Structure 1
Amino acid sequence: MLKTAAKQTSKEDADFALLKKMIKTKLGFNCEYYKDSHFRRRIDVRIRATGSKNFGEYVQILKEDSAECAALLETLTVNVTNFFRNSEVYDIVEKEVLPAVISSKGAGLNRSIKIWSAGCSIGVEAYSIAMLFHHILGNNIKRVNISITGTDIDKASLQQAQQGIYSEIEMKDVRPAFIEKYFWKEGNQYRVNDELKKMIRFKSHDMISGPKMTGFDIIFCRNVTIYFEKELQEKLYMNFYEGLNENGFFVMGKTETLIGPSKDLFKSYNAKERIYAK
């Protein structure tokens, strides 16, 4: 009985390893650094949806069905999000972080501010930041060159971010004054205006294996690294530290914690809201 159970576990592990390898080669999605528990939960969604009994059966479906490949990729990368998610974080960003960065640039005409929204999903974080800059600077917005870069590995999410069209659910935490000023309503959807769009560039970038990005005044990477193994988290936090300008800010997710060398390098700015300074 024990030998049979061990054999089943061994085969299941082998099939899971094969599935991860197939996901990497067939979908271009590197899952080696992610926690197995997270991947198993996401994959189980598709196993149940296809009526597969185990990883082995699901591997066969992936080999034969390109539509299922697309469905799996969407399940692996799906990120439920909305504008100004965790409003208390944005309160500190609006009242303290952005004004500090603006002030640090002096009063000249050629001031530049660079922001990175890492793992930007459908772009709501990048647009939220752009709205706050507009709100704070008012008519002086044209006196500062603000560049916001949103990156992700999911092409469908990036496409929506570039289009800037959102549902009422995604808009639920946007101030009425911001909706009136920065969006066009089209039926049950809302389109971001061009004034915000021109501040942001969305592009495909893998923060795990892609080239390092540097020169930023603020880096936002929220609710992304919780899915990664600790070794990779340590590496990414150091990459973010090195990617910041002196006195720059790093904003992470409320359930995430700095670990590794970066923990001693970053200075806690607001521990409760997980905001750190270089």
Structure 2
Amino acid sequence: MPSEMSKPTIKIIGLPERSSPDISSEAFETIGKILKNLKGFNLDCYKDKCIKRRISIRIRATHSNTAEAYCELLLNNESELELLLKVLTIHVSHFFRNPPTFEKLKNDIFPELFTRCNNEGRRDLRLWSVGCAGGEEPYTLALILNDTFGAEMKVVNVSILATDVDAGTLEVARTAAYNEDRLSEMSESIKTRYFDRIESKYHLLPEIKKLVTFRQGDLYDVSTYVMSDLILCRNVLIYFERSQQEKILEGFANVLPSGGILVLGKSETLVGNSRRRFKTICPVERIYQVL
């Protein structure tokens, strides 16, 4: 969205002060308008309960007496607007999160995808990490591919796209410098070969960084979805209302080819019409294939 935008005219509906940061429907709507007009962030498709809980964190942190007072603060304080956006879009991740999922990808899914490319005479394999946060997930894919499928990658060009709604988070991901706790699930061999330790940070080597392209993107807009052979969307759908989950899953099915792979989080599953468009190939790891 444009970087320069005039301040929207938004009516703040006043209510009697409360001792707790309860968020009325009017205040919630106002916060949504502020975020959409000033930051292009759309609250409409997210679960109200989850979002209100995160907004309440900032209301308490700023010592705002009411949600309405917090609305006034948002309109006049760019720093607080940025802080709220970070709270709403925060993702906690680390390399090789849920190791069995990545073992399944390495041992079964990737070999199948490379074989399909060769059988079809294709020379491109497209992977998409959705809600990539600090980059740990897409970089994990890059590490596995570089470490195990070097020969295949000389024949098939692999591209890894990583998207997130928060631009600031993406900038952090591009630096690829991590605290040691983010590498806790990683083997010592991988850590030694692919990271340089500089003071307290582990810096990913350029040869791995260059395999991943980061781009800002919002799942709310299905028109921006990219053609992919494998999509990882883990622990993202849980923040969306069911109707939006259905829309997102339909969007994934539309950009995956027949035989394309979708990986969801352990607490997520197919809903609505998407259950007729995918078949389950690993229920434990929530891995599905387009029919």
TM-score (norm 2): 0.88
Q: Is the 8 A contact 2:280 2:288 kept in 1?
A: yes
**How many corresponding residue pairs?**
274
- The one of 116, 119, 124 equivalent to 2:136 is 124
> Gaps spanning 5+ residues in structure 1: where?
none
The residue that corresponds to 1:19 in the other structure is 31
The residue that corresponds to 1:157 in the other structure is 169
The reply on whether 1:136 has 2:154 as its aligned counterpart is no
Structure 1 segment 228-267 matched on structure 2, within 5 A:
228-267=240-279
The reply on whether 1:51 has 2:81 as its aligned counterpart is no
Q: Is the 8 A contact 2:234 2:264 kept in 1?
A: yes
The reply on whether 1:38 has 2:50 as its aligned counterpart is yes
Structure 1 segment 181-196 matched on structure 2, within 5 A:
181-196=193-208
The reply on whether 1:199 has 2:218 as its aligned counterpart is no
Q: Bigger shift: 86-95 or 36-45?
A: 86-95
Q: Is the 8 A contact 1:121 1:161 kept in 2?
A: yes
The residue that corresponds to 1:211 in the other structure is 223
Structure 1 segment 100-111 matched on structure 2, within 5 A:
100-106=112-118, 111=123
Q: How far apart are the structure 1 equivalents of 2:78 and 2:165? A: 19
Q: How far apart are the structure 2 equivalents of 1:65 and 1:198? A: 37
- The one of 85, 88, 95 equivalent to 1:76 is 88
Q: Is the 8 A contact 2:95 2:140 kept in 1?
A: yes
Residue 74 of structure 1 and its aligned partner are, at CA, apart by 1.1
The residue that corresponds to 1:269 in the other structure is 281
Residue 254 of structure 1 and its aligned partner are, at CA, apart by 0.7
Q: Is the 8 A contact 1:183 1:192 kept in 2?
A: yes
> Gaps spanning 5+ residues in structure 2: where?
1-14
**Matched AA of 1:81:** S
Deviation track 1:22-81 (CA, whole Å, cap 9, x = no partner) reads 122122211011010011111011011011122111111112221111111111111111
Q: How far apart are the structure 2 equivalents of 1:141 and 1:126? A: 16
Aligned-residue Cα RMSD (Å) equals 2.3
Query: Cα gap change, 1:37/1:108 in structure 2, threshold over 3 Å: closer, same or farther?
Result: closer
